[in-house]
């Protein structure tokens, strides 16, 4: 049966390198019959978490802040797979993605033990630097995040050596992203 996949795209560049990875991944996943929805977070109105612990009272609108996260919550709740897609910014995910991800805590607040809904997860990332030393901080973060959420990692792709828009063209990671989607 086809899976429901939600991509949170934290790149503000509409045709950037992260988007290249997303397009390749989506093509593979859609060829396999999976349903994919992608949110371009940089074009949405999403505020940072207030840390108020006042959410979780309404499953359809779990956060006290009423912004474009309301579009994401229902898709997130229904998703089998969440894809975190982002440029590497200072050895982490972009602020756009961090903001949106923090706000998913409101969904965990719907559970009396703050349990997060169970998801599978994928990381797609573009970065200027290349190699394991450059990737390590973000991979450590990704693994710690998933361990905390009790989510399963289905794969991660970090396309190194890409800086300007268009640099991703012909990159080996595009094939990897396509195959990751196709083999889900």
* Secondary structure (DSSP) of the chain: -PPEEEEEE--S-TTSHHHHHHHHHHHHHHHTT-EEEEEEGGGS--PPP-------S-TTS-SSS-STHHHHHHHHHH-SEEEEEEE-BTTB--HHHHHHHHHTHHHHTTSTT-PPPP-EEEEEEE-SS-SHHHHHHHHHHHHHHHHHHTPEEEEEEEE-S--STTTTTT-HHHHHHHHHHHT-
- CB 126, min distance to ligand FMN, A: 4
**Which residue has the CB atom at the shortest distance from ligand FMN?**
16
> Judged by CB under 6 A, which of 128, 145, 153, 182 binds ligand FMN?
128
> Judged by CB under 6 A, which of 35, 99, 129, 151 binds ligand FMN?
129
Nearest Cα residue to 125 out of 22, 39, 12, 51: 22
Stretch in the footprint of ligand FMN (CB under 6 A) among 53-61, 69-77, 87-95, 173-181: 87-95
For ligand FMN, the closer of residues 149 and 165 by Cβ is 165
Alpha carbon distance 103, 90 (integer Å) = 21
Stretch in the footprint of ligand FMN (CB under 6 A) among 29-37, 38-46, 49-57, 88-96: 88-96
Report the sign of the C-alpha dihedral through residues 37, 42, 44, 46, in that order: positive
- CB 44, min distance to ligand FMN, A: 16
- CB 42, min distance to ligand FMN, A: 9
- Indicate whether 162 belongs to the interface with ligand FMN (CB under 6 A): yes
- CB 46, min distance to ligand FMN, A: 17
- Of residues 5 through 44, those in contact with ligand FMN by CB under 6 A are 11, 13, 16-18
Q: Catalog residues that contact ligand FMN under the rule CB under 6 A.
A: 11, 13, 16-18, 87-91, 126-129, 134, 162-163, 165
């Amino acid at each position: 049966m086809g899976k429901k996949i939600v991509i949170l795209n934290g790149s503000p560049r509409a045709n950037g390198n992260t988007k290249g990875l997303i397009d390749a991944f989506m093509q593979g996943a859609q060829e396999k019959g999976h349903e994919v929805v992608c949110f371009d977070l940089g074009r949405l109105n999403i505020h940072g978490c207030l840390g108020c612990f006042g959410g979780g009272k309404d499953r359809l609108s779990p956060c006290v802040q009423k912004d474009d996260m309301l579009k994401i919550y229902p898709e997130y709740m229904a998703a089998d797979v969440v894809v975190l897609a982002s440029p590497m910014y200072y050895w982490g995910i972009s602020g756009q993605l961090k903001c949106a991800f923090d706000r998913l805590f409101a969904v965990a607040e719907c559970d009396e033990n703050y349990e997060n809904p169970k998801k599978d997860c994928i990381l797609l990332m573009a970065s200027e630097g290349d190699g394991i030393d450059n990737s390590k901080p973000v991979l450590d973060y990704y693994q710690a995040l998933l361990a905390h959420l009790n989510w399963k990692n289905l794969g991660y792709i970090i396309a190194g050596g890409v800086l300007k828009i268009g640099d991703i063209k012909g990159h080996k990671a595009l094939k990897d992203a396509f195959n990751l989607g196709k083999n889900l």
